[in-house]
Structure 1
Amino acid sequence: GDREKIRLAMKVTDETGKPVEGSFSLSVTDDKVVSPSIDVHNIKGSLLLDADLKGYIENAGWYFAGEEDERMEALDLLLSTQGWRRFSWQEIASTQPKPVYPVEKEFQLTGKLINMLGKPIKEGSVILFSNNKSMIPDAAKTDAGGRVGFIGFDCPDTTFFVLQGRNKRNNRTFLDVKIDSTDNYAQLNVIPLSPVSHSAALPLSYIKQAGQHRKFEKSMWTINLPNVEVKGKKMEEAKEDKIRQWMFSYKVGRNELNNRMPLKYELRKLPGDGAVWIVDGVEIDKESIKDMLEAPALYIESIELVSKPGLSLWGARGQNGVVIIKTRNPLDIIQSLEIAPPGLVSYKPEGYCVRKEFYVPAYDDPKIKGNSTPDLRTTIYWNPVVKTDSEGKATVEFFSADAVTSYSYILEGMGENRIGYVR
Structure 2
Amino acid sequence: MAMIYKLSILLALSFCCISGKAQTDLSAIGQQYEQYYARQRPTKIQLVFNQDKFLVGDTAYFKAYFFYENHELVRGKQLINIHLTDEAGKSWADFKMNISNGIGYNQIAIPTSVKPGMYLVSANNEWMKNFEKDLVFKKEIQIVDKNQIISSAETPVILEKPYDLPIKVASRLSDQVVELNLNATSANPNQDLLLLLTSKGKVVHSESFNLSSKTSFKLNQKDLGSGIVQLSILDTKQQLLGNGFINIPSSQKVNASIAPSKASFNTREKVEISFDLTDNNGQAIEGEFSVKVLNQALFSEKQNSLPDQIEIGERLAAEAYQEPWGKILASDQKRPEYDLSNIIQKTGRAVFTKSNSPIPNQSEIIFYLQRSQVFYQVLTSPEGFFDLNLLDVYGEDELFFTAETKEGEIIEDFKIEWSSPDTTALPKARKSTQTEEIDALADFMRKTKIIEKSYAVFTSSLDTSTNQAASAMTSFEKSYMLADDVILFEEYKLFPTMTECIKEIINPLRTIVIGKRKEVKIKALNKSVATGEPLYIIDGIATKNTAYFLSLKPSEIVAVKIFRNSKKLARLGFVGKNGIVMVQTKQGNAREPLNQENLITGLQMPVRFLAPSYDNGTKNLKPDFRSTIFWAPSISTDANGNAKIAFYTSDDVGTLEIRIDGFSKNGEPFTAFKTIEVVNGSN
AA aligned to 1:173 is E
Residues 97 and 150 (structure 1), Cα distance of their counterparts in 2 relative to 1, 3 Å cut: closer
Q: Do the aligned partners of 1:29 and 1:381 also contact (CA within 8 Å) in 2?
A: yes
Where 2:312 maps in the other structure, the secondary structure is helix
Q: Secondary structure at the match of 1:403?
A: coil
Where relative contact order (Cα < 8 A, 6+ residues apart) is larger, the structure is 1
Judge conservation of contact 1:114–1:121 (CA < 8 Å) in 2: no
State the Cα distance separating 1:350 from its structure 2 match: 5.6
How far 1:24 sits from its partner (Å)? 1.9
Which of these residues, 256, 263, 272, is aligned with residue 7 of structure 1? 272
Does the 8 Å CA contact 1:163/1:177 hold for their aligned counterparts? Answer: no
Does 2:640 match 1:401? no
Distance in 2 between the 1:151 and 1:94 partners? 37
Match of 2:405 among 154, 164, 167: 167
The 3 A distance-change label for structure 1 pair 13 and 90 is: farther
CA distance in 2, matches of 1:106, 1:214: 43
Hey, what's the Cα distance between the residues in 2 that align with 1:183 and 1:108?
12
Structure 2: state its 5+ residue gaps. 1-265, 460-468, 470-486, 503-510, 512-517, 521-532, 537-545, 674-683
Change in Cα spacing, 1:273 to 1:176, as seen in structure 2 (3 Å) is closer
- Partner residue of 1:22 out of 276, 287, 293: 287
1:245 aligns with 2:480: no
Q: Which amino acid aligns with 1:380?
A: I
Match of 1:378 among 627, 638, 653: 627
Q: How far apart, in 1, do the equivalents of 2:574 and 2:329 lie? A: 50
Alignment match, 2:447: 208
Q: CA–CA distance in 2 between the matches of 1:153 and 1:390?
A: 32
Distance change >3 Å, CA 98–CA 362, structure 1 → 2: same
Match of 2:421 among 165, 182, 185: 182
Counterparts of 1:109-120 in structure 2, within 5 Å, are 109-114=346-351, 116=355, 118-119=357-358
SS of the residue corresponding to residue 491 of structure 2 reads coil
Q: How far off its partner does 1:164 sit?
A: 3.2
Tell me which residue corresponds to 1:322. Answer: none
Task: Give the letter aligned to residue 534 of structure 2.
Answer: L
Which residue number corresponds to residue 421 of structure 1? 671
Matches of 2:376 and 2:388, distance apart in 1: 9
Provide the residue aligned with 2:329 in structure 1: 94
Distance 1:170-1:294 versus aligned 2 partners, 3 A rule: farther
Question: Which of the pair has more CA radius of gyration?
Answer: 2
The answer to whether 1:35 aligns with 2:35 is no
Structure 1 Cα separation of the partners of residues 574 and 535 of structure 2: 10
RMSD: 4.8
Report the CA distance between 1:191 and its aligned residue: 3.4
Q: Which amino acid aligns with 2:401?
A: L
Distance 1:246 1:137, change over 3 A: farther
In structure 2, the residue corresponding to 1:346 is in which secondary structure? Answer: helix
Q: Work out the CA distance in 1 between the residues paired with 2:430 and 2:659.
A: 24
Q: Measure how far apart 1:355 and its partner are.
A: 1.7
Change (3 A) 1:186 1:12: farther
8 Å CA contact 1:22–1:413 kept in 2: the answer is: yes
Amino acid at match of 1:35: F
Q: Deviations over 1:168-192 (max 9, x none)?
A: 3241225443323333878435234
Does residue 263 of the first structure (1) align with residue 526 of the second (2)?
no
Q: TM-score, normalised by structure 1?
A: 0.59
- Is 1:47 aligned to residue 310 of structure 2? yes
How far is the alpha carbon of 1:409 from its aligned partner?
Answer: 0.4
The CA deviation at 1:410 is 0.7
Distance 1:4 1:173, change over 3 A: same
Q: Structure 1 vs Structure 2: percent identity of aligned residues? A: 15
Structure 2 counterpart of 1:6, which letter?
V
Describe the superposition over 1:238-257 as per-residue Cα deviations: whole angstroms up to 9, x where unpaired. Answer: xxxx995118xxxx989989
2:451·2:623 contact (CA, 8 Å) conserved in 1?
Answer: no
Q: Does structure 1 residue 293 correspond to structure 2 residue 549?
A: no
Asked if 2 retains the 8 angstrom alpha-carbon contact of 1:114 and 1:120, the reply is yes
Distance change (3 Å), C-alpha of 1:166 and 1:418: same
CA–CA separation in structure 2 for the residues paired with 1:97 and 1:375: 58
1:342-386 alpha-carbon deviations (Å, 9 max, x no partner) = xxx9333466643211012243444xx412112222311112222
| Preserved CA contact (<8 Å) 1:380 1:401 | yes
**Cα deviation 1:257-313 (Å, max 9, x = unaligned):** 99965336989x99985699xxxxxxxx8655556635898xx77259xxxxxxxxx
Deviations 1:56-98 (A, max 9, x none): xxxxxxxxxxxxxxxxxxxxxxxxxxx8232315334224125
Structure 1 residues 182, 303: CA separation in 2 closer, same or farther (over 3 Å shift)? same
Q: How many residues align?
A: 323
Q: Report the 3-state secondary structure (helix = DSSP H, G, I; strand = E; otherwise coil) of the residue aligned with 2:451.
A: helix
The equivalent of 2:132 in structure 1 is none
1:363 and 2:614 correspond: yes
Following superposition, the deviation at residue 137 of structure 1 comes to 4.8
Distance, in Å, in 1 between the alignment partners of 2:348 and 2:429 is 33
Whole-angstrom distance in 2 between the partners of 1:290 and 1:90: 50
State the 1:125 CA deviation.
2.8
Distance 1:120 1:204 in 2: 60
Instruction: For residue 140 of structure 1, give the secondary structure of its aligned residue in structure 2.
Output: strand
Secondary structure in structure 1 of the residue aligned to 2:365? strand
- Name the CA distance, whole Å, in 2 between partners of 1:391 and 1:51: 31
SS in 2 for 1:47: helix
Distance 1:290 1:35 in 2: 58
8 Å CA contact 2:562, 2:579 repeated in 1: no
Specify the alignment match of 1:58 in structure 2: none
Which structure shows the higher helix fraction?
Answer: 1
Task: Write the distance in 2 (CA, Å) between the matches of 1:140 and 1:120.
Answer: 16
**Cα shift readout 1:134-192 (whole Å, capped 9, x = no counterpart):** x01524141665525241132525x4434333323241225443323333878435234
Q: Which residues of 2 match residues 299-314 of structure 1 at below 5 A?
A: 302=583
Quote the Cα distance in structure 2 between the aligned partners of 1:254 and 1:360.
Answer: 55
- Offset of residue 126 of structure 1: 2.3
1:22 Cα deviation from its structure 2 partner: 3.5
2:290·2:662 contact (CA, 8 Å) conserved in 1? Answer: yes
Conserved in 2, the CA contact under 8 Å of 1:113 and 1:142? no
Could you say which residue in structure 2 is the equivalent of 1:65?
A: none
Contact 2:561–2:582 (8 Å) recurs in 1: no
Cα separation, 2, equivalents of 1:93 and 1:381: 48
Q: What is the SS of the residue equivalent to 1:218?
A: coil
Tell me if structure 2 keeps the 8 A contact 1:27–1:381. Answer: yes
Q: Tell me the distance in 2 between the aligned counterparts of 1:328 and 1:128.
A: 21
Structure 2 Cα separation of the partners of residues 390 and 12 of structure 1: 10
Displacement, 1:103?
1.9
